[in-house]
Structure 1
Amino acid sequence: MVDEASKDGLNALAQAAKQAPRDSPRDSTRRGLPPVHLWNPDHCGEIDIVIRRDGVWMHEGSPIARKELVRLFSTVLRKDPDGYHLVTPVEKLRIRVDDLPFRAVSLGREGDDLIFVTDVGDEVRAGPDDPIMVQTDPITGEPAPRIHVRRDLWARIARPVFYELVEMAEEVDGQLVVRSGGQAFPLGAVA
């Protein structure tokens, strides 16, 4: 159960995020996102928000059920050297992210480009500014693919989406490679 003070803090943060100025809507690569990179409010502490490995946003141990609220918070998320924060022009609150903040949950093609959609509604065109990277998970030894979304924020590519990428890949010098935005992205060695 969320206490009233915590609920008020969450609502205040949501209101501040709603009222924050947006980048120009003509900037199609940023879709009118708030310019969090330009804001430098004092650090206000931490808020009990966790983004779990599976992409579920939690507040005080309970999932945030309103997708609109999660989307709103995702637009004011920033990664700083000391961690992830929700940032408004007047507040900066640290949150915990267990893996990466977003999940790439679907994949499409537009011409020769790969378009990913995240669990919070961002569309990302893979290319030089938004690369695909595949590392090996040190615990499981399995591929841990991700795509850059914006300003040091990444999305973990969901397993079914990664399988789609593998199906699209071509073999180049013993590596599986996909192409998008004029770039080649290695997915891993051919088994």
Structure 2
Amino acid sequence: MLESLISQMGISEGASLPPVERWNPPLSGVMDMQVRKDGTWWHEGGEIKRQALVRLFASILKEEEGEFYLVTPVEKWQIEVEDCPLHVLLVEKSDGDIAAVLSNGQEVILGRGVELEFSELDGEVLPLLKLASGLTARFKRSSYYSLVEYIEFRNDGVPVICSSGTSFVIPLDEN
């Protein structure tokens, strides 16, 4: 199923991301580009609607000391990110692994260098993925609902998400 959805989104299976961690050009400047907390990308006041272009930009993102950049081997442009630079678009569980497809086209497996964490956004505690690259990916509403389907309860009643032999505790709202 996940492969079908990836195909429908126009993401080539097995596609690798550019090696942005090896690219260290000098700062070219600040670009009027913003990744909003809802996952939309904006350039010079207008929303970028072409998903292929959004995936391209998301694939060349790099974070350094809390700032975000679009990088190539020869250019580095600072951009603004309101919350998380990436977003989780799809989630599926198979054979004990939870796979997630990110807005940059990357497919990751929770528990394999990818941690599930929770942080506050607009007064709500919401899940995000902390990636090995140091970037974070916030769950979109639909992917969050998919993730909730995989909650299990330990013997002590604590809710967890399990993937690749790792259990991630789900924080409870005490209100």
TM-score range, shorter chain: 0.7 to 0.9
Q: Distance in 2 between matches of 1:159 and 1:176?
A: 20
Cα drift, residue 153 of structure 1: 1.1
Aligned to 1:144: 126
| Identity within the alignment, % | 36
Q: By percentage of residues, which structure has more helix?
A: 1
Structure 1 residues without counterparts, runs of 5 or longer: 1-27
State TM-score, norm by structure 2: 0.82
- SS of residue paired to 1:43: coil
Equivalent of 2:45 in 37, 43, 61: 61
- What does the per-residue CA deviation read over 1:82-140, in whole Å, with 9 as the maximum and x for residues that have no partner? 50000111111100000101221221112100011223422111114011112344x51
Pick the structure with greater CA Rg. Answer: 1
Aligned to 1:4: none
Q: Distance in 2 between matches of 1:107 and 1:85?
A: 27
Structure 2 residues without counterparts, runs of 5 or longer: 1-13
Q: How does 1:92-107 map to 2 (within 5 A)?
A: 92-107=76-91
Q: Does 1:50 align with 2:34?
A: yes
Equivalent of 2:152 in 170, 185, 188: 170
Aligned to 1:12: none
1:106/1:161 contact within 8 Å kept:
yes
Cα drift, residue 167 of structure 1: 3.2
Q: RMSD of aligned C-alpha atoms? A: 1.9
Cα drift, residue 58 of structure 1: 0.4
Equivalent of 2:98 in 111, 114, 129: 114
Higher relative contact order (CA 8 A, sep 6+): 2
Aligned to 1:6: none
State TM-score, norm by structure 1: 0.76
Cα drift, residue 40 of structure 1: 1.2
- Number of aligned residue pairs: 160
